[in-house]
Structures are given as structure tokens and as C-alpha cells.
Amino acid sequence: MLHELCSSLLAQHLPELSEEEIVHLLEKPKHKDHGDVSFPCFTLAKTRRTSPHAIAKELSEQLQSPYFTSIEAVGAYVNFFFNPEEVAPKIVNKILSAGSEFGSNQLGHGCRIVIDLSSPNIAKPFSMGHLRSTVIGNSLSLIGKKNGYDVVKINYVGDWGTQFGKLIVAFLKWGDLEKVKQNPIPELFQLYVKFHHEAEQNPTLDEEGRKAFQELEAGNEEYLKLWTYFREVSLEAFQKVYQLLGIDFESWKGEAAYNHKMDHTTDLLKEKDLLVESDGATIVQLEEDNLPPCLIRKRDGATLYATRDLTAAYDRYTEFKFTQAFYVVGHEQSIHFKQVFAVLKKLGAPFAENMEHIPFGLYLKDGQKMSTRKGRVILLEEVLLESIEKAKKNIEERNPSFPGLEEVAKQVGVGAILFNDLKQDRMNNIEFNMDDMLQFEGETGPYLQYTHARAQSILRKASVEDNIFTGDSHRKSWELIKKLHEFPSSVETAFTKRSPAIVAHYLLKLAKLFNQYYSQVKILEDTREKESRIALVKAVTIVLAEGLRLLGMKAPDQM
Ligand code: ARG
């Protein structure tokens, strides 16, 4: 909105550039003293064959508009200073009329993204590692929608592979169905850990596991029955976590869903003459791509992770006709995705250029990777429940008779965990630290939620609706309003950079400015500007709530 004020003014004096070209050239000055927007004159200097300094100077003398208090040339730049009296009402009133639609755009109009996220492995606990994929993926899909994309969330549950052969062997050797029924995931997980432990001493176990998986793939009924049971109890347990997080999926097609389509994939590869025998296994050579070969079938004919991903990619394309496919998966799987995408290119898949792995760093425990195999794992459900409990105590202390306690404690407790993850640059590893996660002050989710609730409480006290902003002369209000104005561009950059952290940091800055404003201004004082101040507070609640929603968080009105 503000850039357009500059570009339309500039366009009147620059016949050689379109308004759109001008908008693209505009920059945000690094230093406050250099105004709100600046226009670099280097491009013009080339076509006009004069110095950029001279052009900047000439333009600054020609340009005049009530929207600016000053337009100055500094070196090769023309710097614009907005006039708050004229511009602030435009911004605030636009937010009030747009409501939660403020910041939406149509960048992705007509495009569909399928996003592969969460995808935990059955018969194992939902780990902190899967939390990252879940919350980053969910936030990216919300941000994608806000940018006009149609988004399909797919939970590609890890429910197939050699490990289920191993689990079946372990269950038949040492399992106790009654115990498993009482406490499914931890029991199954114990069996899995025990299997690996025993296999270290007794390598024939691995062989048994492989054979059992081979038979499972071939349709062994007893094995299938066990597998189905493992799958069912696992999904029930995962649902609890998704309910806590408030996340759902459009598709639950996991790895096993592709079992009967694997031969088709192998045939496609054969047709293109891409399959090579190596040590009895079947592979696709990827030397030209500087990648290790992609394993398609093991020596015993069993399929692999990559075989299933290739098959799933085709299936998704047929089912959803996507324009882009995202895979939100830890960076330790980068090679795997490079291999899968390279094979798709060799196959000439029509969608091969539209695949994107969106990686992220690991949660570490004492600097080390948390490995499920060794049992070094932290359970997300427990972390969430602990955080909710803490939120409850926190709210009760301040407000012992708070009516919506249970619900709001859940929103705040979960919000703390989500935000702690999303505010990090996604490629960073995060050292798992319960104390950090349960922080409710400083740069945290609860701090943002609390800021929103505080603003809502002012609105309740003001009890006026449909306010219009006409002007607020406090100098803190102008900084706050300019920050509000940046929301749409932060929504757009968050998508193009695949980075929810951009929204998270934007919200922290906005909340900080609002809290400064709030501490310096008597919002409800009966003066001429009262209505405008309330309108501004309302605009802040709109943007905070919408920003939190994009992170997958709730914004309670009271807490
Ligand atoms: N289940 C896998 C894991 O936990 C993640 C699946 C990621 N998605 C995919 N299409 N490979 O490691």
C-alpha cells in the first residue's frame, strides 16, 4: 500500500519505467534516518546516461505530495518520509475493514501444493523429531493458503518396511498380547529396542526380520493381521497428539498404501532402461548427478523407502494434479530426496521439476542426535501435557476463577511448544531443553498470546464497535502502525523462503511495539483521539491473531 504511494508519484516523472517496475526497485532503507522507503537511481542512470546522484537530486526537487513530509536525495537514492497524518488512517482503516483477510494475497492462484508432513512411524512413539515436521509443515500450509495456494496436507505414515518384519519376529518371540493391549506403543517400542539389542549379539535375527518382511509383502495372513493391529493402535495414539496440536490432514495415505503399485514403478524404470543389477540388488545409477545409486529392490526382492517414495509421487500427481510437491522432512534425509527427485527426472515424470525437499535441523539431547533405536527418545505427548499443566498453574495464579481454564491452558501450553520451535531458523539444530520450552516470558508464544489477550481486554473495556482511525499524534503509534503495515510482506516472504520463523519474528516485533505503546499511552482516556487509539488496538488484535493462526496457534481473548 505504501510502496504504491511512492511508485505512483514516481511514475508521473519517469515515463521510461512502469509503476510495476518502480515498485520492484523500491527498497526499505537500512537506517531509520533515511526515511521509510527509498528509490535507487542506478537503473535510470544507465538509460539516461547521467549520474545516479544527479537524477536523485532532480527527482527529489520535482516530487511533491501530501503523503510525504519530506522527499530527500541522499547519494544515489531518493528517500521518502511518510506523513503519518495522511498515511496512518489509510493503514489502520484498511486492516479494520479487511479483518482476518488482511495480508492475504493471490500469489498462488490456481496452483496446488501437496505437502508431505509429520509422517511418524507406527509402533514407535511420536518423537520430538516428528514435531518439527508437523509444526513447520502445518504452518507452511497455512501460510501457503494465505498466499492463495490450494494446499493438500498428506500424512505419509511410516507403516511399511523391513522394521515391521523385525517387529513381527520380536513380537512372536517375546511379545505378550495382553501387555501390548494395555499399553500398546511403549510395549511395541520395547520389543523393537530389544530386537536391536539382541541382534547385535545374534545377527541371524536380522535375517529372520528381513524374511518376515518379505513374507508380509507377499501377503502372509498372520503377519498382516499383526501389522494391521500395530497400525491401528499406533494411529489412535498419534491422533491424541494431533488433537492436542489442533492439526488434521487431507490424506493419510502411508507407505503401505503403495504396496500393490510397486511393480508398476519397477516396470516404468525397466522401460526406460534405468535398472541395473548390483550385488543381487536392483539399483538406478546416479553417478552423473554425483549421488550414490538409488536402491529399488533388495536382493530378496523387498522394496525400499525410495521405491515407495517414487510410487507415492506418481500416485499423488494422478490424484491431486499438483503444481508443486513439498516434503517437510529432516535434513538428514537430504540425499534420499535428491536421489528420488533425480530418478523422477530420468523417468521423465511430468512433475519432476516441481519437487521440493524442505529440510530442517534436529532436536539434540546433550549435543547428540536422539535415536529411537537406542531408546534415547523424548515423547512429545508428555512434553505437551507438562506444558499444559504449567500453563494452567500460571493462569490460575493470576486469575483463580478463570472460566475457560482448561481450554485456554491447552492453547497456551501447546502454543509455548509450537512457538519455541517455529521461531528458530528451520535449518538450525535445537538443543532439547524443557525449561526453554516451558518459558512463558521473553520471546515466547505465551508472551504473544498474552499481548493479544491484553489488547482484547482493552477493547472489552472500551465497548465500542466500528471505530474509525482518524489520527493519533503519539509518536509511538506511528512506529506501531508502520509495523502493522509490514504484515502482508512478511506473509509473502515467509512463503517464498519457506520460513514460518519470519512470521514468528514479525509478531515478536509487533508485540514489543504494542507493549511500548500501551505503557506510554492512556488508551481509554477521554480525549479527542480516543476513538482512533481504540481503532489502533483493534487493528493490532487482528494482526496478532491472524499471525498466530498462521503458526498454528490460538489467540485466546482472555488469559
Ligand atoms: N516416516 C519417515 C521418518 O520418520 C518420514 C517420511 C517422510 N516423507 C517421505 N515422503 N519420505 O523418517
Q: Check whether 65 has a pLDDT greater than 90.
A: yes
Q: Which three cell numbers stand for residue 375?
A: 531408546
Binding site membership of 137 for ligand 1 (Cβ less than 6 Å): no
pLDDT beyond 60 at 512: yes
For ligand 1, whether the C-beta of 209 sits within 6 Å is no
Q: Cα(329) to centroid of ligand 1, in Å?
A: 7
The percent of residues in the chain predicted with pLDDT above 90, rounded, is 84
Give per-residue pLDDT as tens, 76-119: 999 999 999 999 999 999 999 999 999 999 999 999 999 999 99
Three-state secondary structure readout of 497-552: CCCHHHHHHHHHHHHHHHHHHHHHCCCCCCCCCHHHHHHHHHHHHHHHHHHHHHCC
3-state secondary structure of 173: helix
pLDDT tens profile 352-405: 999 999 999 988 888 777 765 555 567 788 889 999 999 999 999 988 888 899
CATH of segment(s) 2-82: 3.30.1360.70
> Residue 372's pLDDT is what?
58
**CA dist., res. 149 & res. 9, Å (int):** 32
Q: pLDDT tens-digit profile of 200-224?
A: 999 999 999 999 999 999 999 999 9
**What's residue 453's pLDDT?**
96
Cell of 476: 509511538
Candidate from 116, 117, 119 with most ligand 1 atoms within 8 A of CB, to mutate: 119
Q: How confident is the model at residue 475 (pLDDT cuts 50, 70, 90)?
A: confident
Mean pLDDT of the residues in the chain: 94
Q: What is the largest CA-CA distance in the chain?
A: 87
Q: What atom in ligand 1 is closest to the CA of residue 305?
A: 11
* Residue 309, ligand 1, Cβ within 6 A: yes
Can you give the pTM of this predicted structure? Answer: 0.93
CA distance 554 to 412: 8
State the pLDDT at residue 278: 95
Centre of ligand 1 from the C-alpha of residue 413, in Å:
27
The residues of the chain that CATH labels 3.30.1360.70 are: 2-82
pLDDT in the model for residue 441? 86
Cα–ligand 1 centroid distance for 271 (angstroms): 28
Q: Can you give the pLDDT at residue 79?
A: 97
In CATH terms, is domain 380-550 a member of 1.10.730.10? yes
272-285 confidence digits (pLDDT tens): 999 999 999 999 99
As a whole number of angstroms, the distance between CA 227 and CA 421 comes to 33
pLDDT tens-place string over residues 120-135? 999 988 888 899 999 9
| 420 closest CA partner among 406, 409, 434, 407 | 434
Place of cell 511514475: 11
- Mutation test of ligand 1: which of 333, 358, 363, 369 has the most ligand atoms closer than 8 Å to its C-beta? 333
Q: Which atom of ligand 1 is nearest to the CA of 309?
A: 10
Cβ–ligand 1 distance for 116 under 6 Å, the answer yes
Burial of 107 (0-12, 13-18, 19+ CB in 10 A): middle
Q: Tell me the best of 294, 317, 329 to mutate to test the pocket of ligand 1, counting ligand atoms within 8 Å of each CB and taking the most.
A: 329
Gap from CA of 323 to ligand 1 centroid (Å) = 21
Q: Please report which confidence band the pLDDT of residue 482 belongs to, taking 50, 70 and 90 as the band edges.
A: very high
Which pLDDT score, from 0 to 100, does residue 398 have? 85
Domain with CATH 3.40.50.620 in the chain: 117-369
- Tens-place pLDDT, residues 298-308: 998 888 999 99
> Where along the chain do the CATH 1.10.730.10 domains lie?
380-550
At a CB cut-off of 8 Å and minimum separation 6, what does 274 contact?
284, 285, 343, 346, 347
**Looking at residues 509-536, what average pLDDT do you find?**
95
Q: How far apart are CA 427 and CA 89, in angstroms?
A: 39
**Dihedral sign of CA atoms 233, 196, 193, 364 in order:** negative
- Cα dihedral: 413, 415, 420, 421 (round 10): 120
Mean pLDDT for 147-166 is 96
Residue whose Cα lies nearest atom 10 of ligand 1: it is 309
CATH architecture of 117-369: 3-Layer(aba) Sandwich (3.40)
pLDDT at 168 over 90: yes
- pLDDT at residue 42, as a whole number: 95
* Rounded distance from Cα 539 to ligand 1 centre (Å): 40
- H or E element: which one contains 144? helix 128-146
User: Residue 533: its pLDDT value, please?
Assistant: 96
Q: How confident is the model at residue 286 (pLDDT cuts 50, 70, 90)?
A: very high
Q: Whose Cα sits closest to atom 5 in ligand 1? A: 119
The answer to whether 240 touches 381, Cβ cutoff 8 Å, is yes
CA of residue 159 to ligand 1 center, whole Å: 10
SS3 364: strand
Ligand 1: nearest atom to the Cα of 329: 7
CB of 159 shorter than 6 A to ligand 1: no
Query: In angstroms, rounded to a whole number, what is the distance separating the alpha carbons of residues 341 and 275?
Result: 16
Instruction: Provide mean pLDDT across the span 473-487.
Output: 94
Instruction: Return d(Cα 418, Cα 383) in angstroms, integer.
Output: 11
Which pLDDT score, from 0 to 100, does residue 368 have?
A: 79
